[in-house]
Amino acid sequence: MRALDPRLVQRARAVRALLVVDAVLAVVVALLVLAQAVLLAGVAARSFGGASLGEVAPSLVLLAIVVVVRAAAAWGFEVAGRTAAAAVVSRLRLDLVDARLRRTPAALDGTQTAEVTTAAVTGVDALEATFARYLPQLVLAVVVPLAVLAIVLSIDPVAAGVMLLTLPLVPVFMWLVGRHTERRARERWQALALLSNHFLDVVRGLPTLRAFNRGGVQAGRIAEVSDEYRRTTMGTLRLAFLSGAILELAATLGIALVAVVVGVRLAEGGIGFEAALTVLVLTPELYLPLRNLAAQWHASADGAAVAERMLDLADVPFAAPGSRPARLAPIAFEQVSFRYRARPVDVLQGVDLVVEPGETVALVGPSGAGKSTLLSLLMLFSEPTSGRILVGDDDLADVDPRAWRRLTAYVPQRPTLFRGTVADNIRLGVPDAGEGEVRLAAALAGVDDVLDALPHGYRTVLGEGGRTVSTGERRRIALARAFLRDAPLVLLDEPTADLDPESAAAVAAAVETLREGRTVLLVAHRPELAERADRIVRIDRGRAVEEAVA
C-alpha cells in the first residue's frame, strides 16, 4: 500500500486535519455498519419468529435513521477529502511559485516551465483523487474490517475464524497483485499511449504525407498498427485483470464459506438465527472497503507521483542570499563554471572576463555556448558551480540580490509581455513612473510610433488574451523598460535575433542610444550590433576568448 509522502504531511496542516476527520468518520461508519447489520438481522429474525409489523416498527425506523446517517457520512468523507485536497494543492502550488520566483528564477531551463505549469494545474486532478477518495478509503479499510471482526468474534468465534482465514489473503493478494498490477497497468497505458501517439504523429504529418503522395497508404497502416497494439494490449490485460479477479474471488469465497459454515452450524443448532444472519450481513462489509481501496490504486499512484514531482520542484536547494550593499564597480568573472541541474557537462568552463564601468562588451559565439547563462549569473538568478564573480572587491554572492538588481536593466532574448496595458509593461521596473516618462522611454526605444498607432495607444492590453505584437515590437517594448529603469548596468540578450532587417536596424539604433553613460553587456549574433561594441568576447565551448577591439 502506498504511503503518503512524509514531506506532504509535514508541509500541510490540511493533511493532518483530514486524517483526523477521516479517522473520526471511519469510526462512525464502522458503528453504522454494525448497527445496520444488527437491526436488519433483528427484524428478519423476529419476523421469522412470527412478529407483526407493529412489533418491529421501532427497529425499522431506527434502521431508516441509520441508512440516512450512513449516506450523510459517505458525503462527509467526500466533502472533507475535497476541501483538504484543495488546501493541500494550493499550498503546494504557492510553495512552488515561491521557489521559482523568489529563489531561483532562471536556474531551470525553459522546458521545465511548461512542466511546472502542468504539474501545478492539471496534476491537481490526480492529487484531488488521492485526498478525496484514496485516503478516506485507506482509513475505512483499516477501521471497518477490524470493527466487523471484533463484533463477529463476540457473536460467533467460528465464523470469525473463517473470516480470519480468508481475510489475510486479501491484503497479501493485494500486495502481490498491486506490485504486479502496477507494472502491468503502466505497460498497458504505455501501449495505449503509443497507439494514440502513432495516430497523432500520422495526423500531424498529413500535409507532408500528401505532399509526397503518401497519404492513402497510411490508412491501411493505421488499421494494422491498431490491431497489432490491440493484440499485445489484450495479452497484457489478460494478466492484469487476473489479479483483480483473484481479489474478487477472495471476497465471494469468503461470503460463500461464511454462509455455508454458519448455515450448517445453524441447522445443527450451534448458533441462533439472528446471530447467523448478522454475521452474514456483515461479511461483505469486511471485504468491500478493501476492494474499494484496490480500485483507487491508480488514483493513489498518480497522485503520489504528482505530489513527489511538485515537492521536488518546490524544494530546490539554494544558498542564502547575501546582504552586503550593492554598488557598481569593475566586474570580474574569475574561473566561473556553471552546470545546469541534471546535465552531464558544464555550460561554462572557467570563464575569465572583466567589464570596466562605462564599457560596452559584446558576447558572440554559437548557440548553446553559454552566453545567456553568463548574463543569468550576473543577474544572480543562479550561482556559479565554481569560481566567483567580483564587483570591485565584493564577491557578488555576498551582495543583496534585490539591491544589486536595482542597479541593472535586463532584456532577455524572448522578453515576456505581462497581461496588462502597454504602459504598465514599460513601467515594470518603475511602477510609479508618470505617463511622460513612459512615453520618453518608448521614444528612446524607437517604439513610440508603433504604440501610438495601436487602437488604444498606451492603454492597449497585451499578454495572453490581449493584443499580440511582433517580435521586434516586443523587444523594443522591453528596451523601453530598460530605458525607463535608467540603471547603470544594462544586460541585453540577442536584441536583434530573428528580426527582419528594418526591425533589427531600429533595435540597433535604440541600443546605441542606451549605451550612453552606461555599462552594457550584450549578447549578439549579428555583426552590425557587435561591431559597435568597445570589445568583442567570443564564448566558445564554455570559455571566453577576447576577439578584437573595435
Q: Between residue 406 and residue 425, which ones bind other proteins under the rule CB under 8 A? A: 406, 408-410, 412, 415-416, 418-419
Cβ atoms of 122 and 71 within 8 Å: the answer is: no
Q: Is 367 in the site for other proteins (CB under 8 A)?
A: yes
- Does 132 bind other proteins (CB under 8 A)? Our answer is yes
Ranges within 299-358 binding other proteins (CB under 8 A): none
Q: Are 143 and 26 in contact (CB under 8 A)?
A: yes
Could you say whether residue 474 binds other proteins (CB under 8 A)?
no
Q: Does 200 interact with other proteins (rule: CB under 8 A)?
A: yes
Stretch that binds other proteins, among 162-170, 226-234, 350-358, 541-549 (CB under 8 A): 226-234
- Cβ neighbours of residue 537 under 8 Å, at least 6 residues apart? 353, 361, 362, 363, 364, 544, 545, 546, 547
- Contact with other proteins (CB under 8 A): which of 58, 161, 366, 392? 366
**540: which strand partners?**
543
According to the binding rule CB under 8 A, does residue 268 interact with other proteins? Answer: yes
Minimum gap (Å) between residue 273 Cβ and other proteins: 4
Q: How far is the CB of 257 from other proteins (least distance, A)?
A: 8
Q: How far is the CB of 338 from other proteins (least distance, A)?
A: 15
Query: Could you tell me the smallest distance in angstroms from the CB atom of residue 108 to other proteins?
Result: 9
79 lines the binding site for other proteins (CB under 8 A): yes
* CB nearer other proteins, residue 146 or residue 223: 223
Residues in 91-130 that interact with other proteins by CB under 8 A = 93-94, 97-98, 100-102, 105-106, 110, 113-114, 116-117, 120-121, 124
Q: How far is the CB of 537 from other proteins (least distance, A)?
A: 17
Helices 13-48 + 53-98 axis angle, to 10? 170
Give helix 135-155 / helix 273-295 axis angle, nearest 10°. Answer: 160
What does the DSSP assignment read for 78-113? HHHHHHHHHHHHHHHHHHHHHIIIII-TTSS-HHHH
**Three-state DSSP string of 487-549:** CCEEEEECCCCCCCHHHHHHHHHHHHHHHCCCEEEEECCCHHHHCCCCEEEEEECCEEEEEEE
Residue 35 touching other proteins (CB under 8 A): no
Per CB under 8 A, 144 contacts other proteins:
no
Q: Closer CB to other proteins, residue 3 or residue 213?
A: 213
Question: What are the contacts of 16-20 at 24+ separation with CB within 8 A?
Answer: 17/84, 18/80, 18/81, 18/84, 18/131, 18/135, 19/135, 19/139
- Please tell me the distance from the alpha carbon of residue 327 to that of residue 353, in angstroms, as a whole number: 19
Alpha-carbon torsion 222, 224, 225, 227, what sign?
Answer: positive
By CB under 8 A, the count of residues binding other proteins is 145
Q: Which residues 520-539 are close enough to bind other proteins by CB under 8 A?
A: 525-526
Nearer to other proteins, 3 or 114 (CB): 114
Interaction between residue 13 and other proteins (CB under 8 A) = no
In terms of Cα–Cα distance, which of 549, 523, 535, 545 is closest to 352?
545
Q: Does 292 bind other proteins (CB under 8 A)?
A: no
In this complex, which beta carbon is closest to other proteins, that of residue 352 or of residue 414?
Answer: 414
Minimum gap (Å) between residue 298 Cβ and other proteins: 14
Cβ closest to other proteins, residue 43 vs residue 304: 43
**Spatial CA neighbour of 549 closest among 535, 538, 539, 537:** 535
